Amino acid sequence: MSATCEQITTDYCPAVWNLTCLYVGFSYTNTIDFVKEDGVAINISADTFSMPITNSLGVLVETLTLGSGLAIIGTGTLQITLGMPITTNAGTYTHRIIWEEAATGATAPVAIGKIIVKP
φ/ψ of residue 100, rounded to 5: -115, 115
Alpha-carbon torsion 73, 12, 15, 39, what sign? negative
The 10s digit of each residue's pLDDT in 65-77 is 999 999 999 999 9
2-118 maps to which CATH number?
2.60.40.3350
The 10s digit of each residue's pLDDT in 37-90 is 788 899 999 999 999 999 999 999 999 999 999 999 999 999 999 999 999 999
pTM of model > 0.85? yes
Residue ranges of domains in the chain: 2-118
- Rounded to an integer, what distance in angstroms lies between the CA atom of residue 104 and that of residue 28? 32
